[in-house]
Structure 1
Amino acid sequence: MGLQNITGLFYPSQTLGGPHIDIEDIITSQNVISRVMHSYLGILVPLGLLAGVICVAILIRNKVKHQTLENLDLHLLALVATDITIVFYSFTSKTRPDYLEVSNLSCGVLSWFFNTSYFFSQYLLVLMILILLILDDSKTSQSHLRYVFLTLTLSIVMSVVNVSLLGTYDNLHNITYCQLDPLNARPEYDFTKFFAGFCVPSLVLLIFVILIIIRAREVEMSEKLQAHGVVLCHVPIMFICRLFYNIMLIRRTGLKINAFYMSPREELVLNIAELAVFSGSCIGLIITLALHKPCRQGLKKSLQFLINKCRGKETSNSVI
């Protein structure tokens, strides 16, 4: 089947321009996105995945050692695992400035998996800030585990609703240029993603953070903030990275509604905005390792153990 796009919006780089597009602009934008992609894959991805794997290993080791997880550790483990999956989804962009050429069905399935992680990370952060606000550490880890599963269930439902609005179900086997948020999605898909995946949770987070700031002078809240500072650091990182992306998502929707063409510069900025979402997950993983006390201490102990092992081998070799 040939390439089709029911929204009438196409990538300039894949259609060899148009009457209003300069080929040199396409070449320039391709060079820029290629360099940005190499920088992301060469720097942020290795650091993010390494930090994520270390965090998961330390948190699971603490679970095995103490037979339980602190509520904060339980939520952070879920958030770290979700950020790792989002980083893995970013490998679908490694072909930039080219795009995956798959069927609408495959692209829709990929979009559903990505959106589940996307919604879950946002909603889970709302849950963590809510628990911090109400100082709810009295309940058992099993109760908090139920909260996490309810959040995951909500994320799956919202992802199903969102993907059902793609509008490509009549052409499931047609080949398309696929992004995690497909270009040929109906405007309804983009609007739902924007409001349910960004606007509503960001507004709720803003309200919760303001309430936390108001209560910061309380002794109990002050102690909580010191222990849960890593959670608050995730809020601006996720907001800034996803704000940029959602602005471009709405810009793309406006082009669809008004039947405008996409310029090479807009294609470039849209691709960079997509990388910003992935970069936010990488930075979040690094922040968790650096600021969460059990992870930071576990890393120090592991490094010290390796150093002692190496020194012991050097001493043995010198004696021999």
Structure 2
Amino acid sequence: MAARQGPLSRQGRPLCEEQAAPAPGRIGRSCVSQREVIFPKTHRRHSERFRNSRPRTTRKERRQTPGTGPPQKQYGSDTAEMSSHNMSWVRYPSHVSTAVEDVITAQSIVSRCLHVYMALCVPLSLAAGLFNLTTFIKGRARQGGLDAFLSDLTVTHVLVTLLSLTTVSRPDYMVTTNLGCAVLSFLANVCYFNGQYVQLVMLFAFLLQGSAPCLRTATKAAQRPVESLAVIGGCAFCSSLGLAALLGTSGELSRSTLCQVDPLTAWPEYEIVKVSLGFGLALVLKLVFFILLLVQLAWRAAAPQRDAASTPRVVLATALTTFACRLPYNIALLQRARLKLQRDIGSPRDELLMSLAELVLFGESGVNSLATLFLHRPCRLALLSVPERLTRWCRKGEPSDSFSLKRVGG
């Protein structure tokens, strides 16, 4: 019985070759569609019409056309401006880093340093600051210009020490709303700028004497400390208010966030402005001060000198301590701003350096309080009189105790 044959074409050939192996030396022919075999001209005409109807685009046009090919980054001016102020991508490296060993090491170092700070620096800072403040309040009747400025610095140092208690949860960060974090940052910046501005005025008012207009203005500021401190406080308030506007959280104040004194999600301009106003400007003025001081010492080399004991060494000591403690922190702030501009979250090492620099910044309050206690004469005399007062108080209680015992025995 003959094998069943499929449909034939007009030339009498089958529409599709059998799927058997091709003859030796020939390449097997694939099956063609029935429409192409029966209507070859019509099929070619429709295929050409379909190809001609498709829009022909070059490779460059396909690259620029949205929706074709891989998504391309847009670098328009509006997009760049929005991305520079969009800090939603910022994260702490310890929360997203895959280097687990580095994260554990960094957190261990921060935890140990925090324990030392809480055990030593905080009690010493509060005790020295409160003792100095009590001494200034008791001697306010005979208080001079230097005592008024040191009183303002003492209050600032006590407030900074209290604000540093927000780091007690480190290496974890305090969880609060954007509004609460903005308030914390504002208060810390007021203390930061106030302490810096007060020290600058003290340098020019109490360590320099001359006939230059700037020196005469500084001398008048020392003679009217209340008005001068009010102006300094206003400048610190305005500087902190300007930084609060650069936090970038005004539209979502009730949103929860991880907070520290200088929020991580602030705009890069925040760090740049803070370093410029709180450290860069102060550094320039301190350099000017030391140049004027050297010139003054050169002019007075042959002239009779004042008593060395009357020189307020505490002013110079607090200025040098502030510079040494704030230098690492401002370097860390600039490093953070650079990473933000490069859209990089950094490494656990960067986060570790920032945390350690923050603890050093808080330690400035304790060191300055101790410097005021030991170098400022009224505070030092008050400290030396404490044992005498305790002895006198204990002796005052002895007669009353013996009298009560005699009455009980009678």
Q: Is the 8 A contact 2:156 2:195 kept in 1?
A: yes
Structure 1 match to 2:334:
250
* Residues 1:112 and 1:175: Cα distance change in structure 2 (over 3 Å): same
Q: Secondary structure at the match of 1:167?
A: coil
The 2-side partners of 1:157 and 1:190 are apart by 16
Q: Secondary structure at the match of 2:189?
A: helix
Structure 1 match to 2:112:
35
Q: Which runs of 4+ in 1 moved over 6 A?
A: 135-138, 314-320
Q: Deviations over 1:63-107 (max 9, x none)?
A: 1xxx24111001000011111111111011111001111111111
Structure 1 match to 2:38:
none
The 2-side partners of 1:262 and 1:199 are apart by 24
Task: Report which of the two has the higher share of helix.
Answer: 1
Structure 2 match to 1:165:
246
The 1-side partners of 2:182 and 2:203 are apart by 32
Q: Does 1:178 align with 2:259?
A: yes
The residue type paired with residue 272 of structure 2 is F
The residue type paired with residue 198 of structure 2 is L
Q: Is the 8 A contact 1:82 1:117 kept in 2?
A: yes
Structure 2 match to 1:24:
101
Q: Does 1:301 align with 2:382?
A: no
Q: Is the 8 A contact 1:107 1:179 kept in 2?
A: yes
Q: Does 1:75 align with 2:149?
A: yes
Q: Choose from 124, 130, 133 the match for 1:56.
A: 133
Q: TM-score, normalised by structure 1?
A: 0.89
Q: Is the 8 A contact 1:112 1:163 kept in 2?
A: yes
The 2-side partners of 1:119 and 1:298 are apart by 29
* Residues 1:283 and 1:300: Cα distance change in structure 2 (over 3 Å): same
Shift of 1:111: 0.6
* Residues 1:314 and 1:12: Cα distance change in structure 2 (over 3 Å): farther
Q: Is the 8 A contact 2:145 2:223 kept in 1?
A: no
Q: Secondary structure at the match of 2:353?
A: helix
The residue type paired with residue 103 of structure 1 is T
Shift of 1:172: 1.6
Shift of 1:9: 2.4
Structure 2 match to 1:194:
275
User: Any gaps of 5 or more consecutive residues in structure 1?
Assistant: none
The 1-side partners of 2:263 and 2:248 are apart by 11
Q: Does 1:275 align with 2:321?
A: no
Q: Deviations over 1:121-172 (max 9, x none)?
A: 0000001111122476975977221011100000000100111111111222
- Superposition CA RMSD, Å: 2.4
Q: Secondary structure at the match of 1:35?
A: helix
The 1-side partners of 2:313 and 2:358 are apart by 27
**What percent of counterpart residues are identical?**
35
Structure 2 match to 1:152:
233
The residue type paired with residue 191 of structure 2 is S
Q: Is the 8 A contact 2:145 2:224 kept in 1?
A: no
The residue type paired with residue 394 of structure 2 is C
The count of aligned residue pairs is 309
The residue type paired with residue 186 of structure 1 is W
- Bigger RCO (CA 8 Å, 6+ sep): 1
